[in-house]
Every structure is written in structure tokens, then in C-alpha cells.
Structure 1
Amino acid sequence: MVDLVHALARRLPAPLDLEPGPCTPIEISVMRFVGRNPGVSARAAADACRLPTSNFARVLKGLVAKGLLERRSDPQDARIAHLHPTELAEKNSLRMREHWAAALSGVGLERDKIAATTQALRRIEAHLSAAPPAADAARTGRHDLNGRKQRRTTDDG
């Protein structure tokens, strides 16, 4: 099933009329996460998108330069940046969803089947996003959505 989901995602590219231009798949992933979690810390977004900090910083810099994301300093700790989608990002997100819906309109599935499939995919996403494997979290220094470092757990306690 995963290979099918991956193949479908690659066949549904972003529309070409996005402003200021098309986004890469990684940029779309970051924008999707921040759009669903406005105000999230940059570190938590990097971890949730499973990107190394250096790669995420490069993507973030590009999205800010494109006018799609805003970085706001935390009032209590200026070292922490909170990310917010801009109005332009929200317009682009709507364009993408409309583009993808149009591409899928000829599939011929009934609404209840589409709803059931969507619900199943959301459950799978939530399950996979809930917590990375303990070894992965310990190795990468992953943090939760509140910016707290996740504890390392091992089989021997």
C-alpha cells in the first residue's frame, strides 16, 4: 500500500500557477505541517517533517524568502522561532487542494468510499507521526510538538 500512496503522490504534482512559483515536494511537506500547526517551533517542525536541522533551515529560509512562511520569535526565549503560514501560503494551499481535487474528479468513486479512504489514510498518518521509533528519536535528538526533547527508551530500562 505504501508504494501505491507514494506513486499517487508523485503523479499529483503541485499546480504551476503557485505564487511566487512552484514548490518542491519537501517545501510542500513543510508548508502542509506548518499550515496544520501554526505557531509550531522550527525545531518541532523539522522533527515532524523528519528533516535534519541543516536541511530544514535551508528549506525554511527559502519559504520565508518566497513570502510563504513567517518566523516569529518566542516572547520568552528569542532563540525559539515559531512558524506561521502567510496569507499567500494559504491561497497556494487552496489552489493545490483544488488542483488535486480536479485531477481526482474522474476517478468515479462514491463519496462514502472517498471519505472512508481519507479517514483510513489520516489514521495511518497519525499513527506514523505519533512518535518516531525510540532509537530514531535518541539518535536524532527529536523533540515533540512543544519543543521538548523526547526521552530515550531502551529495552533494558
Structure 2
Amino acid sequence: MSRSDDRHTDTRYADLADVILALARIINADAHSDTGVVELTATEVNVMRCVDRQPGASPSTVAAATGLQRSNLSRALRDLESKGLIERVADETDGRQVRLVPTALAARNLRRLRGHWSRLLSAAGADDHDLDAVLATLRDLELGLAPSAQRKAGVQRP
């Protein structure tokens, strides 16, 4: 079956994607109601997520991990710097290179967001006895999709 084929062998995956997208919209809209949270675009969220998980990453590493073109990444980095969330620091071994690090404001923003998300989702009334299994499944899906997203963006794996 080709990738463009409309037939599904398991519609549960399409249903899962639909629910994930709906939840993302709800969570994002609700987070914007907190005036103490620095608002970010979807691109900025992806970049911050990468920099938070890999402090000191190079712009090239972030571009590869996020699947962004260098020009789009450059714009996002400028915007994140202007919001006080990212700093560019000189590479200790090669002063011509820079490393990206989250600021203290970024750490506070992320803590506030994570607390907000936790309260929002825990108040939704879902039974959380399977939460660990759900998290593991979603993380597996993310890891499985990451190489595909990088291939589509033209990123070469080492």
C-alpha cells in the first residue's frame, strides 16, 4: 500500500491522531489564558522543546531535530532571544560556533506551563491508572515518527 493510499488498516491510529490534535488545540488555547506564560508560536515551541532537552545544542543540531529549514530556525531563534528565552553562547572549543541555551526565564516559563498542563489535564476527569502506559505509547510514537519527519525535511542522519 502506498503512502498516499486512503485505505486504513487500523483506523484507531487515525482516531488517535485526531484526539491528539484536538487535545493540543485545547491545551494550547488554555495555556494562553495564563498571562504569566510567555506566548510562543508552534515553531518556537518546537525549538524551545529541543533546546530545553539538549541545552548547548548547536543551531544545526536544533534544525535537524526539529526539521526546520535554517532560515526558519534563524527567525525562531531571533524571536526567542527577543523574548528572553534563549541565549547564544560561544562554543568553548570553537569560538566561531555558537551553542543554544535556555535562560532562567525559559525555565520559569516551562515550570509554569507544566504546572498549568498538569492541573488542566488532571481536572479533566480521566482515569489515570493507565497514564504510564499512555505516556510510554505516545513517547514510542514520537520516537518512531522523528526519523520520518527528519527525512521529509532533508536531514541526513550521521
The alignment's TM-score, normalised by the length of structure 1, stands at: 0.78
Structure 1 position 12 matched with structure 2 position 27: yes
Q: What's 2:126 paired with?
A: 109
* Distance 1:77-1:10 versus aligned 2 partners, 3 A rule: same
Which one of 57, 61, 64 corresponds to residue 40 of structure 1? 57
The within-5 A match list for 1:70-89 is 70-89=87-106
Query: 1:112 Cα deviation (Å)?
Result: 2.7
Structure 1 position 22 matched with structure 2 position 39: yes
Q: Is contact 2:64-2:150 (8 Å) kept?
A: no
Query: 1:134 Cα deviation (Å)?
Result: 8.2
Q: How many residues align?
A: 140
* Distance 1:135-1:48 versus aligned 2 partners, 3 A rule: closer
Name the aligned partner's letter for residue 120 of structure 1: T
- Deviations along 1:2-33, one digit per CA (max 9) or x if unpaired, are 222122111111343245x3111221121111
Structure 1 position 124 matched with structure 2 position 125: no
Q: Is contact 1:42-1:83 (8 Å) kept?
A: yes
Q: What's 2:72 paired with?
A: 55
Q: What's 2:110 paired with?
A: 93
- Give the SS at the match of 2:123: helix
Query: 1:136 Cα deviation (Å)?
Result: 3.4
Identity %: 36
Runs (4+) off by over 6 Å: none
Q: Distance in 2 between matches of 1:134 and 1:103?
A: 31
Q: What's 2:7 paired with?
A: none
* Distance 1:61-1:122 versus aligned 2 partners, 3 A rule: same
Q: What's 1:147 paired with?
A: none
Q: Extract unaligned runs of 5+ from structure 1.
A: 144-149, 152-157
Q: Distance in 1 between matches of 2:48 and 2:98?
A: 15
